[in-house]
């Protein structure tokens, strides 16, 4: 049994939703042990959160820089850190750990601004440490199945890529911690729904198809009076190589809870995936009846099987998708311990994927601000 990876966490204290998700994901495959944290920007809350999680008092820090400095000096200091703060903290926190050789597992989006995203890429490239971005939906087995099918040309030449991610929880003004920072441009960045959930849909489209975006035209709205960031967006997409598509994200669409969907159509057939039914992938060869591929069932391939944990027919979803990213990170970190490269087949979103996401958000904001003018991507 390889020793569990010593993990720290920045953010994710009491009352923080995503921190709890990351901690569960890190434990599912028994690859990590949480041993340190700077869990809140408020010292009292940081200490209380550390105590509630059973962290030693001397491994519970009031700020992430103090944590990075001390943990890097400890004989058994952390090997990796999870950054689960609001977006505006990602760059500064990740930089502190990267320059001390501590692996970073960071929540999306990469940063709140494009300038910081570019600087973080340079910091990651200059560091010996790994950088993993938790676009958790890329960890779903049937998403890996779809990616494998497209890579094997089972859909032929890709023509149309449609992604959507509607929710309804911000249909009215919302007063809680989660909504507060997500609607504050100083903490979330200039993108609202496009940065919170639209970037997930965009990342998933890129991950599954392997396509690069050429240009986009975005029409974004903030329907709720007084809201300073978008809560709905329609984006027309032109992919390199000729494929076309559209992305819709919304947090003001009643009846939608977490409706992430992806549809891809090529010259030989099409696929459809819905995050709310993650164990299924619809596949339609052109001119033939629609087929349902199930996780672990007939037609499901090696890429999906590699990241499946339980027998077919048992639901496997959101938490397990997150856990797959952590498990892939663990494989890469353990290889790094031995001075080896990332093992073949291990896949996780990188800092460069994160940069593409922030470039997408930035382009959408600029396009919409100029009446949906077409913007070329770098």
Q: Please, are residues 221 and 231 in contact by the beta-carbon 8 Å criterion?
A: yes
pLDDT exceeds cutoff 90 at 87: yes
- Check residue 15 and give its pLDDT: 83
Whether residue 361 contacts residue 109, with contact meaning beta carbons closer than 8 Å, is answered with yes
Domain identity same for 152 and 285: yes
- Residues 147, 99, single domain; the answer is no
Task: Answer yes or no: are the C-beta atoms of 375 and 367 closer than 8 Å.
Answer: yes
The predicted model gives 235-247 an average pLDDT of: 98
- Per-residue pLDDT reduced to its tens digit, 359-375: 999 999 999 999 999 99
> Do residues 237 and 164 touch, judged by C-beta distance below 8 A?
no
pLDDT band at 175 (very low <50, low <70, confident <90, very high): confident
Position 2 scores a pLDDT of 65
Is residue 188 predicted with pLDDT exceeding 80? yes
Same domain? For 154 and 39 the reply is: no
The secondary element (H helix, E strand) that includes residue 206 is helix 199-209
Range of the domain at 250: 142-310+356-376
Residue 327 in domain: no
Same domain, yes or no: 151 and 246: yes
Over residues 18-30, mean pLDDT: 97
Does position 309 have pLDDT exceeding 90, yes or no?
yes
325 domain residue, yes or no: no
What's the CATH code of the domain at 72? Answer: 3.40.50.720
Q: Is the same domain home to 297 and 190?
A: yes
pLDDT (average), residues 165-180:
94
25 found inside a domain? yes
Q: Which of 78, 99, 129 is the last residue of a domain?
A: 129
Same domain, 146 and 125: no
Asked, for residue 260, whether it belongs to a domain, the answer is yes
**Which of 62, 97, 129 is where one domain is finished?**
129
Contact criterion met (CB below 8 Å) for 227 and 174:
no
pLDDT at res. 165: 98
Tally of structural domains, the chain? 2
**Rounded to an integer, what distance in angstroms lies between the CA atom of residue 134 and that of residue 328?**
11
**Residue 54 and residue 166 in one domain:** no
33 and 56 Cβ atoms separated by less than 8 Å: no
Assigned domain for 235 exists: yes
Average pLDDT, the chain: 97
Indicate whether 276 and 304 sit together in one domain. yes
pLDDT in tens, 247-275: 999 999 999 999 999 999 999 999 999 99
Q: Note whether 123 and 154 are same-domain residues.
A: no
In a domain, 72, yes or no: yes
The reported pLDDT for the residue numbered 245 is 98
- Of 129, 159, 194, which marks where a domain is finished? 129
What token pair was written down for 20?
Answer: 């709890």
What tokens appear for 90 in the block? 């990602």
Supply the pTM of this predicted model: 0.97
Asked if the structure places residue 328 within a domain, the reply is: no
Question: Sign of dihedral through CA atoms 352, 3, 83, 177?
Answer: positive
Domain contains 184? yes
């Amino acid at each position: 049994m390889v020793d569990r990876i010593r993990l720290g966490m920045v953010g994710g204290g009491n009352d923080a939703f995503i921190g709890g998700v990351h901690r569960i994901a890190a434990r599912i495959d028994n690859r990590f042990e949480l041993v340190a944290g700077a869990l809140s920007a408020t010292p009292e809350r940081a200490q209380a959160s550390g105590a509630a999680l059973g962290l030693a008092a001397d491994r519970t820090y009031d700020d992430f820089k103090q944590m990075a400095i001390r943990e890097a000096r400890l004989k058994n200091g952390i090997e990796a850190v999870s950054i689960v703060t609001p977006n505006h903290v990602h760059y500064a926190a990740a930089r502190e750990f990267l320059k001390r050789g501590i692996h970073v597992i960071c929540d999306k989006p990469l940063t709140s601004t494009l300038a910081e995203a570019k600087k973080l890429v340079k910091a990651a490239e200059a560091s010996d440490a790994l950088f993993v971005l938790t676009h958790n939906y890329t960890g779903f087995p049937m998403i890996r199945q779809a990616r494998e099918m497209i890579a094997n040309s089972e859909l032929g030449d890709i023509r149309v890529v449609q992604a959507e991610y509607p929710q309804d929880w911000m249909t009215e003004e919302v007063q809680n911690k989660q909504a507060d920072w997500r609607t504050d441009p100083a903490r979330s960045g200039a993108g609202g729904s496009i940065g919170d959930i639209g970037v997930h849909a965009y990342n998933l489209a890129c991950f599954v198809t392997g396509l690069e975006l050429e240009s986009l035209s975005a029409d974004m709205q903030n329907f709720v009076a007084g809201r300073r960031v978008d809560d709905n967006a329609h984006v027309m997409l032109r992919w390199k190589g000729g494929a076309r598509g559209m992305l819709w994200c919304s947090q003001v669409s009643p009846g939608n809870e977490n409706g992430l969907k992806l549809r891809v159509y090529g010259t030989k057939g099409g696929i459809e995936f819905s995050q709310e039914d993650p164990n299924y992938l619809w596949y339609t060869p052109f001119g033939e009846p629609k087929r349902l591929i199930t996780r672990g069932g007939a037609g499901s391939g090696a890429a999906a099987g590699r990241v499946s944990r339980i027998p077919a027919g048992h639901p496997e979803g959101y938490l397990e998708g997150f856990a797959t990213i952590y498990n892939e990170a663990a494989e890469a970190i353990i290889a790094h311990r031995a001075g080896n490269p990332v093992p073949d087949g291990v896949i996780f979103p990188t800092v460069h994927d994160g940069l593409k996401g922030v470039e997408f958000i930035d382009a959408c904001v600029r396009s919409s601000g100029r009446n949906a003018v077409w913007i070329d991507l770098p």
